[in-house]
Amino acid sequence: MGFRATVLTLYPEMFPGHLGVSLAGRALERGDATVEAVNIRDHATGKHRNVDDTPAGGGAGMVLRPDVLARAIDAVSPENDPRPRLLMSPRGRPLTQARVRELASGPGAVIVCGRFEGVDQRVIEARNLEEISIGDYVLSGGEPAALILLDAVIRVLPGVMGNALSGTHESFEAGLLEHPHYTRPQVFEDREIPAVLTSGNHKAVEDWRQEEALKLTRARRPDLLQTTETRPDQPEK
């Protein structure tokens, strides 16, 4: 059936967004993945269909009500639904390529897009929501984060990328940042393509790419090397 994502949001018109074009767009057209956006407000009750209320204990902003969100989750994800339930949240665990791969190998996901000051903690616990963050910053809502997560997942689904090897040499796949890339022309503004890349020596090319990846990672993301420096498949420094 393919990867099936259900997004719970107050702004369903934001989907599929950029997922409707390029690789993801073609994947959606083929049915490799589906993205359904469901309006949380459809599960609100009362004359005004309120979805939020003031925070207990006082403070600024509003909080998404647990009863409304619970009804929305239950409507799209019954107890036998094998899909994980995700909440896009700046306080969640950072999204990693490994988690992306795990999600891509599964049946899909139910993704909750938070708004306002946050989501009532009780519904997070009661509906077993896994909080995921895409970075150390705050957005106006979870929708852009959900689109990013889905983009990352859909592109690694089987058959989505034309070359199956395309996704295996990218940043984070081997715990390192990706090596620099070059293409024609041979000389650009007095800068030449490194000679090793045009030498025809495939072993030398791979060694160069690995070393450049290590140098970039040491300079920009040394935290990644805490788990990669001791791996047996990494060259000695």
Q: Out of 71-75, 92-96, 166-170, 231-235, pick the least confident.
A: 231-235
Confidence of residue 101 (pLDDT cuts 50, 70, 90): very high
What domains are there in the chain, each with its CATH number? 3-155 (3.40.1280.10), 169-228 (1.10.1270.20)
In this prediction, residue 145 carries a pLDDT of 98
d(CA 122, CA 128): 10
Cβ atoms 7, 15 nearer than 8 A: yes
In this prediction, residue 174 carries a pLDDT of 72
In this prediction, residue 169 carries a pLDDT of 57
d(CA 6, CA 76): 7
The first and second tokens of residue 228, run together, are 């990669």
Centre a 10 Å sphere on the Cβ of residue 40 and count the other Cβ atoms it contains.
23
Q: Out of 60-74, 86-100, 154-168, 206-220, pick the least confident.
A: 154-168
pTM of the shown model: 0.88
Confidence of residue 232 (pLDDT cuts 50, 70, 90): very low
Q: What is the number of alpha carbons within 13 Å of residue 180 lying toward its C-beta?
A: 11
Amino acid at 29: E
In the predicted model, is pLDDT for residue 209 greater than 60? Answer: yes
